Amino acid sequence: MKSTNIKKYTYGNPVDTNAVIYKIIEEKTDFPVGTISHSEDLEGNLLSFSWNYTMSNHDMIFGLGENVRGINKRGFKYTSWCTDTPNHTETSESLYGAHNFFIISGKKTFGLFFDTASKISFDFGWTDSDKLSVYSENTGIAVYFITAETGHHDTSDAVNIVRQFRTIIGQSYIPPFWAFGFQQSRWGYKTEKDIQTVVQNYQKLNIPIDGVCLDIDYMDEYEDFTVDKKKFPDLKKLSDTMKKEGIHLIPIIDAGVKVKKNYRVYEEGIKNHYFCKKADGKEYTAGVWPGRSHFPDFLNSDARKWFGLQYKTLTDLGIEGFWNDMNEPAMFYSDESLQKSFATLKTFENKKLDINSFFQFSSVSGSTTNLLSDYKLFYHSIQKTDGSIQNISHDKVHNIFGSFMTQAASEGFKSFAPEKRFLLYSRSSCIGSHRYGGIWTGDNRSWWSHLKMELQMLPALNMCGFLYSGADIGGFGDNTSRDLLLRWIALGVFTPLMRNHSASGTRKQEFYQFGHPEDFKGIIELRYRLLPFIYSEFIKAVFNNTMLFRPLAFDYPKDYRACNIEDQLMFSDSIMIAPVYEQNALGRYVYLPEDMVQVVWNNGEVVQQTLQQKGDHFIEVPLTQIIFYIKPEKIIPLCPKALHTKDIRMDTFEFLGIPSKDASYSLYKDDGYTTDIHLDGRITKLTF
């Protein structure tokens, strides 16, 4: 691809992350901004790499996908190192994904993508408030430097830079239409009966729903691609019956394969050398849900193909959606770390434990999880384009492991059902896997701060190509509260993945567990009435390489106030959302960057639409309400109420907004499953 605005510079020997799909000619000149320093070993591997840049006072930083803190990422440091981190707080530097793209916007505006499979750190003015530095080592890096095209028609340079970046990383994943419906999940549904009870409870209350997730308990001893026949005697029958009622079952698949004689997947993996091995050629063993397990080598194309085909055991039972989990990979222990830990524990025996030794003792058993020393012990065999095999230790390519698991599943679907879209979302991810599946943002907690964090993360995920994404609504860990759940689904109405999920042992958080479930119903109804609009906007964002969620700074770059807004988002090119994210808040302040139509949705209906003036407003938002804003001249179609996506009618609409006479809306329609997706010929113009 020829572009004068995208420049590529390579340092060391990068492993192919499969993030960029266009070949971009490498520059031989010096890096255009800041200072790069790097050193390589004799084989050309990076010993160190750093890029340093001095920021101007008002420079802002947007991007980095799945990470903590604000929309403007300046002032903190982050490390891409895919990590199972259920207790993350605002000081956590790494979450489940590695999304190394960001834009510096200010005196000079440009985007940077650090394409590497290895660990990489970003210090955005944390050590020194005007210094930005990026640091990495190990394999190698391709750095893409992107500036805005001159004379572009986008609302801002940032939008234009994202568009170019999204073009080179390729089209985002599109799930089937039903996957935009509401999904209920909980780690704790153990049997067929449990699933039926959940569905019946939703049906009794007429709360719209389209999917129920099967967490690890559906499997036989947590073995991937098996079903526990005692708990689920006939999964095909269950899945078929459910589908007739408009409900899809969505089973989990874990990265670790149980070590067990006569378990087919294990035996096949061993026979064909599909699992990651240690330097001595023996399979590497780590403890995950099933106990001792091996990790498929997703970076090896044969192993990837084999693993992808395994999904067919479940699709043959009528399953049309999956979530891939524990694929950072998360490990509780390795044979090595466990042995070491037991040996250390022994040294405490018969000792009088004092204040220091007691705490050392108590930390030993917890010290075996996700160790870098363990990640260094196993290897991947990557087939290179020239046919040779590259053996590389996991720690050097850690950030692409989960991403390649997503690719494995997606390639599997493509090979055995090329004409059908499947639902697929993963916990771990790297830019590149956005073409193969969506993501949920991993284990969070029932904290108000995590609701706000999701709001702030969404635009950054979109910048990196992850459009089908969302957080565990209500919070995964800890006990949720009714008001937190209500406020969280009010944001969830707009996220393409809308799933209520919670951990075993926490307070149950299906909507019917709370008083006045009709309040939840009223909110979910807005989601379903907006679905033709949300689906259309999603497809357009995929094809036009735009973001569904944007910071106000991207749409109003000259409005200093708007640029600083951290708790409102633009959604599509028509809507601004302003969720409430604090407990007991009567409402909140909203800043309108221009005159907009305020829509008040209450108890399942629009109760008010008024034109509000640019500026600051305090709005009262009771728990039963969602207030959002429509830009002037825009109209939003609402379809009739439906309980499942299969019943959604796309032939009759009401409209929101206060439009002029000739306002119209471009609706995208397809059968919800086809892989032959295009805008041409699929758009219907709806007029007011």
Please, what is the minimum distance in Å from the beta carbon of residue 136 to ligand GLC? 27
Evaluate the CA torsion angle 196, 198, 203, 209 in order and state its sign.
negative
Closest approach, Cβ 162 to ligand GLC, in A, equals 28
Q: Which of 38, 58, 33 is nearest to 48 (CA)?
A: 38
Query: What is the x/- site pattern for ligand GLC, positions 335-364, by CB under 6 A?
Result: ------------------------------
Residue 510 makes contact with ligand GLC by CB under 6 A = no
Rounded Cα distance, 393 and 381, in Å? 9
Query: Does residue 634 belong to the site contacting ligand GLC (CB under 6 A)?
Result: no
* Nearer of residues 460 and 471 to ligand GLC, judged by Cβ: 471
CB nearer to ligand GLC: give 85 or 133: 85
Beta strands, E only, 255-395: 257-258, 277-278, 286-288, 291-294, 321-325, 333-334, 378-383, 389-393
Query: Tokens standing for 364?
Result: 């030993």
Examine residue 187 and tell whether it contacts ligand GLC (CB under 6 A): yes
Task: List the one residue from 134, 158, 216, 464 that touches ligand GLC (CB under 6 A).
Answer: 216
Q: Does 117 engage in binding with ligand GLC (CB under 6 A)?
A: no
**Taking the complex as a whole, how short is the minimal distance between the CB of residue 635 and ligand GLC, in angstroms?**
38
> Residue 86 CB, nearest distance to ligand GLC (Å)?
6
Q: In terms of CB distance, is 290 or 459 closer to ligand GLC? A: 290
Q: Is 215 or 555 the residue whose CB approaches ligand GLC more closely?
A: 215
Site track for ligand GLC across 22-61, x = CB under 6 A:
----------------------------------------
Q: What token pair was written down for 252?
A: 């989990």
- Distance of alpha carbon 664 from alpha carbon 360, whole angstroms: 67
How buried is 681 (Cβ within 10 angstroms: 0-12 exposed, 13-18 middle, 19+ buried)? exposed
| Nearest distance in Å: CB 325, ligand GLC | 5
The backbone region for 217, taken as left when phi is positive above 0, alpha when psi lies in -120 to 50, beta otherwise, is alpha
Q: Which residue has the tokens 């999880």?
A: 369
Cβ closest to ligand GLC, residue 44 vs residue 505? 505
Contact yes or no for 276/376 (Cβ under 8 A): no
CB closer to ligand GLC out of 71 and 439: 439
**What is the nearest approach in angstroms of ligand GLC to the Cβ of residue 685?**
41
Contact between 427 and ligand GLC (CB under 6 A)? Answer: yes
Q: Are 668 and 540 in contact (CB under 8 A)?
A: yes
Task: Compare residues 83 and 399 and give the one whose CB is closer to ligand GLC.
Answer: 83
Measured distance CA(103)–CA(132) in Å, rounded? 12
What's the one-letter identity of residue 411?
Answer: E
* Count of residues interacting with ligand GLC (CB under 6 A): 10
Measured from the Cβ of residue 50, the count of other Cβ atoms closer than 10 Å reads 17
Rounded to a whole number of angstroms, the minimum distance from the CB of residue 243 to ligand GLC is 23
- 443 makes contact with ligand GLC (CB under 6 A): yes
- The reply to whether 215 sits near ligand GLC by the rule CB under 6 A is yes
Q: Cβ 215 to ligand GLC, closest distance in Å?
A: 5
User: Which residue lies nearer to ligand GLC by CB, 187 or 413?
Assistant: 187
Q: Which residues are catalytic?
A: 325, 328, 443
252 near ligand GLC (CB under 6 A): yes
Q: Residues 58-97 vs ligand GLC: string with x where CB under 6 A?
A: ----------------------------------------
Give the amino acid at 197. Answer: T
SS3 content of the chain, % helix, strand, coil (to 5): 30, 25, 45
638 touches ligand GLC (CB under 6 A): no
Least distance in angstroms from the C-beta of 310 to ligand GLC: 18
Residue with tokens 């993501």: 439
Chain residue at closest Cβ approach to ligand GLC: 187
Beta-strand ranges (E) seen in 231-376 are: 248-254, 257-258, 277-278, 286-288, 291-294, 321-325, 333-334
221 backbone φψ class: left, alpha, beta (φ>0; ψ -120 to 50): left
Measured distance CA(471)–CA(521) in Å, rounded = 20
The residue among 138 and 495 lying less far from ligand GLC, judged by its C-beta, is: 495
Which of 59, 123, 325, 519 is close enough to bind ligand GLC by CB under 6 A? 325
Q: Which residues of 55-92 are buried (b: 16+ CB within 10 A; e: fewer)?
A: beeebbbbbbbbbbbbbbbbebbbbbbbbbbeebeeee
- Three-class DSSP category at 170: coil
- Residue 662 token pair: 């000739």
Which residues make up the interface to ligand GLC (CB under 6 A)? Answer: 187, 215-216, 252, 325, 427, 442-443, 476, 501
